């Protein structure tokens, strides 16, 4: 799970930034600013090449390692004009 700490922190930061891309109109509806997008930024977050370990809990206690899975996140952000 330590391999996932950095990507989850980055996701949390991006989520906070995502909350900032919405504005309140006087009629209280949420409108995305992406409609007026000027520039679009795309970047990819790669986890440790070894991948994140996946475990399953066993009935007798303890955990059994099922394998690893790589984590690749593609994020697309747009800046409004």
Q: Where are the domains of the chain?
A: 2-80
Q: What is the residue-level pLDDT of the chain in tens, covering all 81 positions?
A: 556 666 777 767 666 555 444 444 444 444 444 455 556 666 666 666 566 666 666 666 666 666 666 666 666 666 655
> Strand, helix or coil at 74?
strand
Res 54: pLDDT: 63
CB neighbour class for 59 (10 Å; exposed up to 12, middle 13-18, buried from 19): exposed
Res 9: pLDDT: 72
Instruction: Give me the phi and psi of 13, to 5 degrees please.
Output: -65, -40
């Amino acid at each position: 799970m330590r391999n996932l700490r950095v990507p989850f922190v980055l996701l949390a930061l991006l989520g906070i930034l995502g909350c900032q891309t919405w504005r309140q109109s006087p009629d209280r509806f949420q409108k995305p600013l992406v409609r007026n997008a000027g520039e679009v930024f795309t970047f990819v977050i790669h986890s440790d090449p070894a991948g994140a370990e996946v475990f399953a809990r066993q009935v007798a206690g303890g955990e059994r390692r099922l394998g690893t899975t790589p984590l690749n996140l593609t994020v697309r952000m747009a800046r409004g004009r």
